[in-house]
């Protein structure tokens, strides 16, 4: 039976440019299974209408776990003395990029902890080398950097940048990121967008001190900034961090947050991310793909280093080939398909189309 109130909230949220926070809170707080199923079905229909049935692939290479920060939730934080640190060489990274290209993937995500020692010119050369040798999109995810560095790497050929805000609540942000600046995080986000990166943001669901209202604010921020990509993932406690004793983020709430994000932001690329897979395995990946997600990220970090990129525990080792064939199976079960295109931002295309029409 169709719930009249739920249906009218969903239509209102879908139709409005700036949805009411109370409507978002209502959707995020849904508990009754039939209503939650209705929310997911609505999000899935929005996904189908705005990004289609293709599941895009991004190959991720976690090239260093050095970090200067002290994010309370993250195992890479500099105070975690239990972690052996590594940094891949240029050659090692290029080997993995080559492998990813052989697998037919057209986006590489270069991710690391936030290193002071990351030489911007070394990174610039690496990006140049990748983009000159291979016909693929390059996504960077190396944290808060200066505007000049962002510009340098953009000129070298990088196309996209992932920098999750984690939470848009300044006080909550401050409580989780000692010594870091929320304003600087925003500055970085805005710089990336101004420079012309396809920019990704996102949050963690289940953080200490977070509420439904905070999550609704996160989603309003995603809408306001019209991000090209948004990653919503559950909090997974890491025992070598200050939040190691906290409970796991709730998978249901994470999926509702993802579904509402899809409905509000329409054609954004939304990954079924590693945190979801770590928390809930294959079922989690499937659930996310049915609650708004349209991207998956097979891991191409060399096997020897995989365990050392321990942001949180539970990341299962699986070769990229296995991962792709698993996603292929899932896609066919869902009557969807793997999309081997670059999968650039759809927002970008929309803007480019308008610009062309105006010229
Ligand atoms: N240094 C880069 C990459 C960070 S790791 C940066 O700052 O952008 C990528 C993401 O992992 C983070 O943005 C965060 O959202 C997520 N993450 C970190 N610790 C986590 C945890 N314990 N549980 C769930 N997600 C976590």
From the alpha carbon of 163, which atom of ligand 1 is closest?
8
Asked whether residue 357 carries a pLDDT value surpassing 60, the answer given is: no
Reported as a pLDDT band with limits 50, 70 and 90, residue 320 is: very high
Q: What is the pLDDT of residues 211-260, one digit of tens each?
A: 999 999 999 999 999 999 999 999 999 999 999 999 999 999 999 999 99
Q: What is the pLDDT of residues 33-81, one digit of tens each?
A: 999 999 999 999 999 999 999 999 999 999 999 999 999 999 999 999 9
Asked whether residue 352 carries a pLDDT value surpassing 50, the answer given is: no
Residue 119 Cα to ligand 1 midpoint, Å, equals 22
Residue 233 Cα to ligand 1 midpoint, Å, equals 9
Contact 144, 183 (CB under 8 A): no
Rounded mean pLDDT, 305-320: 92
Q: What's 63-107 look like in SS3? A: EECCCCCCCCCCCCCCCCCCCCCCECCHHHHHHHHHHHHHCCCCE
The pLDDT, as a whole number, for residue 317 is 85
Q: Is the CB of 205 under 6 A from ligand 1?
A: no
Q: What is the pLDDT of residues 139-162, one digit of tens each?
A: 999 999 999 999 999 999 999 999
Reported as a pLDDT band with limits 50, 70 and 90, residue 116 is: confident
Kindly list the distances between the CA atom of residue 237 and the CA atoms of 53, 214, 241, 245, 285, in Å, as whole numbers in the listed order: 33, 20, 8, 7, 19
Residue 203 Cα to ligand 1 midpoint, Å, equals 9
Asked whether residue 356 carries a pLDDT value surpassing 60, the answer given is: no
The pLDDT, as a whole number, for residue 2 is 77
Q: Is the CB of 113 under 6 A from ligand 1?
A: yes
Q: Is the CB of 271 under 6 A from ligand 1?
A: no
**Pick from 212, 192, 172, 183: nearest CA to 71:** 172
Residue 37 Cα to ligand 1 midpoint, Å, equals 28
Sequence-ordered alpha helix ranges (H) in the chain: 4-15, 21-28, 33-51, 90-102, 120-133, 147-155, 170-176, 182-195, 212-225, 251-265, 274-289, 303-306, 320-333, 346-358
Task: Tell me which residue has its CA closest to atom 7 in ligand 1.
Answer: 143
Mutate to test the pocket of ligand 1, among 58, 80, 184, 204 (most ligand atoms within 8 A of CB): 204
The pLDDT, as a whole number, for residue 87 is 97
Residue 333: count of CB within 10 angstroms of its CB: 10
Q: Is the CB of 141 under 6 A from ligand 1?
A: yes
Contact 231, 267 (CB under 8 A): no
Backbone angles phi, psi at 29, to 5 degrees: -90, 0
Task: Tell me which residue has its CA closest to atom 11 in ligand 1.
Answer: 311
CA-angle at 226, arms to 350 and 131, nearest 5°: 65
The pLDDT, as a whole number, for residue 1 is 67
**Lowest-confidence segment of 24-33, 199-208, 341-350 by average pLDDT:** 341-350
Domains and CATH numbers, the chain: 4-358 (3.20.20.70)
**Pick from 320, 325, 295: nearest CA to 56:** 295
Mean pLDDT, the chain, rounded, equals 95
For 56, the 3-state DSSP assignment is strand
Asked whether residue 350 carries a pLDDT value surpassing 60, the answer given is: no
The pLDDT, as a whole number, for residue 276 is 96
Terminal-to-terminal C-alpha distance of the chain: 50
Reported as a pLDDT band with limits 50, 70 and 90, residue 348 is: low
Contact 40, 322 (CB under 8 A): no
Residue 356 Cα to ligand 1 midpoint, Å, equals 37
Task: Tell me which residue has its CA closest to atom 24 in ligand 1.
Answer: 235
Kindly list the distances between the CA atom of residue 44 and the CA atoms of 15, 84, 288, in Å, as whole numbers in the listed order: 16, 41, 10
Taking the complete model, does pTM exceed 0.75, yes or no? Answer: yes
């Amino acid at each position: 039976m169709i719930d009249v109130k739920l249906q009218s909230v969903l239509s209102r949220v879908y139709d409005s440019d700036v949805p009411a926070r109370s409507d978002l809170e209502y959707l995020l707080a849904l508990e009754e299974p039939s209503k939650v199923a209705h929310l997911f079905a609505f999000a899935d229909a929005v996904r189908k209408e705005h990004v289609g049935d293709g599941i895009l692939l991004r190959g991720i290479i976690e090239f260093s776990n050095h970090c200067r920060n002290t994010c309370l939730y993250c195992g890479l934080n500099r105070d975690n003395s239990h972690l052996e640190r590594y940094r891949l060489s240029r050659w090692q990274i290029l080997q993995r990029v080559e492998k990813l290209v052989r697998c037919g993937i057209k986006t590489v995500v270069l991710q690391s902890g936030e290193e002071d020692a990351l030489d911007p010119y070394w990174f610039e050369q690496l990006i140049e080398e990748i983009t000159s040798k291979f016909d693929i999109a390059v996504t960077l995810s190396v944290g808060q950097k200066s505007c000049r560095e962002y510009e340098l790497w953009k000129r070298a050929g990088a196309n996209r940048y992932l920098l999750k805000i984690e939470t848009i609540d300044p006080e909550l942000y401050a409580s989780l990121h000692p010594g870091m600046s929320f304003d600087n995080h925003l500055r970085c986000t805005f710089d990336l967008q101004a420079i012309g990166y396809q920019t990704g943001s996102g949050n963690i669901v289940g953080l200490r001190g977070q509420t439904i209202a905070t999550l609704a604010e996160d989603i309003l921020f995603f809408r306001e900034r019209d991000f090209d990509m948004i990653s919503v993932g559950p909090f997974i406690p890491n025992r070598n961090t200050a939040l190691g004793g906290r409970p796991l983020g709730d998978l249901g709430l994470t999926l509702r947050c993802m579904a509402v994000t899809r409905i509000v932001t329409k054609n954004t690329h939304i990954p079924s991310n590693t945190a979801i897979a770590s928390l809930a395995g294959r079922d989690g990946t499937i659930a996310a793909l049915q609650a708004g997600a349209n991207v998956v990220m097979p891991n191409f970090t060399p096997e020897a280093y995989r365990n050392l990129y321990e942001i949180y525990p539970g990341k299962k080792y699986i070769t990229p080939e296995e991962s792709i064939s698993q996603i292929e199976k899932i896609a066919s079960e869902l009557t969807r398909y793997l999309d081997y295109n670059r999968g650039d931002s759809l927002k970008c295309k929309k803007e480019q189309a308008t610009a062309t029409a105006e010229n």
